[in-house]
């Protein structure tokens, strides 16, 4: 009987790896904590090509999330934690005497740090977009009135909030003490904030240094932030209800297991200790894991032009 369970387990793992386009070399890539990407990988990222392989895509996304939140130095630690959590999930499945749950619980535990990073990065980006909208709106208004960018930034510094305020304070310091070239200081400011609309605003400011008539186009860039905020609010209103229903269904599926112990103990034993019951638990866990992963992917903030 044991060899039948082992054969079914191997077939299940093979099917999951095939469906996600995961190869054995991908595991070696994950275990190589200190390994660096190849030149071809860097070129593909610059050209906007999707990474090949499931683990490569996830690794690239984690790197981008950490870079966006200023924590790129923690990438190796996140990979180590994911590997340890995968082992913890596998041990938990073995303690439950259910080998079919090993890849499911292992993957679920391993993706926990990625889900946490996604949630924190989404909150950070949303806050950053709100502060950028306020900052470039008030600065643009002052700049259109005075025609002096440095003066416009100084006037509105008290009304700005972190993390945007620190970048504009550095812009003032660089302009007054380090670099008199306004185009260079605007480029430095642009590279500090990972936002496409803000980059467009900075590019327009650079054009304004040589062509004052370009100032009137700044208001159109500011309007893009407002459009993005409105679309984000509408999207959240559309997604929130299905998200609640999905989480409710996940809770009901998981909650039925201890409920069976109270209502019908023989059914509970069949579900937990028989081979068909173990396979059923593994299938349910896989569906919950897939659903939760999709929800996390759909919960990230939208970006203009993405």
Distance CA 226, CA 280 (A): 48
Distance CA 289, CA 116 (A): 15
Interval 73-89: pLDDT, tens: 666 777 778 888 888 88
Interval 37-58: pLDDT, tens: 455 554 454 444 444 444 455 5
Half-sphere exposure of 101 (CA within 13 A, CB side): 25
Distance CA 67, CA 194 (A): 9
Q: Domain coordinates of the chain in residue numbers?
A: 1-110, 125-223
Q: Is the dihedral of CA 63, 84, 288, 2 positive or negative?
A: positive
Over 105-134, what HEC string results?
HHHHHHCHHHHHHHHHHHHHHHHHHHHHHH
Model pLDDT, residue 274: 85
Q: What is the DSSP letter of 163?
A: T
ω before 163 within 30° of 0 (cis)? yes
Q: Which two tokens stand for residue 206?
A: 């650079």
Distance CA 282, CA 102 (A): 9
Mean pLDDT of 154-167: 86
Q: Which residue in 290, 247, 257 sits closest to 19, CA to CA?
A: 290
In degrees rounded to 5, what are phi and psi of residue 15? -65, -40
Our measurement of the distance from residue 113's CA atom to the centroid of its chain's CA atoms, rounded to an integer in Å, reads: 11
In degrees rounded to 5, what are phi and psi of residue 222? -60, -35
Distance CA 12, CA 203 (A): 53
Whether residue 26 is predicted with pLDDT greater than 60 in this model: the reply is no
Whether residue 216 is predicted with pLDDT greater than 60 in this model: the reply is yes
Arithmetic mean of pLDDT over the chain: 76
Q: Which two tokens stand for residue 244?
A: 């609640």
Contact (Cβ atoms closer than 8 angstroms) between residue 175 and residue 150: yes
Q: Which two tokens stand for residue 24?
A: 């054995």
Mean pLDDT of 89-96: 85
Whether residue 153 is predicted with pLDDT greater than 60 in this model: the reply is yes
Cα dihedral 36, 189, 47, 43 in deg (nearest 10): -30
Q: Which two tokens stand for residue 162?
A: 């972190």
């Amino acid at each position: 009987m044991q060899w039948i369970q082992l054969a079914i387990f191997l077939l299940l793992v093979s099917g999951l790896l095939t469906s996600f386009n995961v190869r054995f070399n991908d595991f070696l890539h994950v275990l190589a904590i200190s390994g660096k990407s190849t030149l071809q990988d860097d070129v593909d990222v610059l050209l906007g090509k999707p990474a090949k392989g499931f683990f490569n895509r996830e690794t690239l996304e984690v790197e981008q999330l950490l870079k966006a939140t200023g924590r790129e130095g923690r990438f190796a630690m996140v990979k180590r934690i994911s590997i340890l959590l995968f082992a913890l999930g596998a041990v938990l499945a073995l303690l439950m005497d259910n080998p079919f749950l090993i890849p499911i619980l292992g993957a679920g535990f391993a993706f926990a740090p990625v889900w946490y990073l996604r949630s924190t990065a989404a909150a950070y980006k949303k806050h950053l977009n709100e502060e950028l909208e306020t900052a470039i709106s008030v600065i643009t208004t002052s700049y259109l009135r005075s025609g002096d960018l440095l003066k416009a930034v100084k006037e509105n510094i008290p009304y700005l909030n972190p993390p945007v305020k620190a970048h504009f304070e550095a812009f003032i310091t660089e302009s007054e003490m380090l670099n008199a070239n306004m185009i260079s200081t605007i480029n430095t400011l642009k590279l500090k904030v990972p936002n496409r609309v803000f980059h467009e605003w900075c590019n327009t400011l650079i054009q304004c240094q040589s062509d004052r008539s370009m100032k009137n186009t700044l208001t159109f860039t500011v309007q893009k932030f407002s459009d993005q905020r409105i679309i984000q609010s509408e999207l959240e209103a559309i997604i929130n209800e299905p998200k609640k229903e999905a989480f409710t269904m996940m809770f009901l599926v998981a909650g039925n297991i201890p409920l069976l112990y109270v209502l019908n103990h023989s059914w509970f034993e069949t579900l937990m200790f028989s081979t068909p019951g173990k396979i059923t638990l593994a299938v349910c866990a896989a569906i919950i894991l897939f659903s939760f992963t999709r929800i996390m992917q759909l919960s990230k903030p939208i970006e203009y032009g993405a």
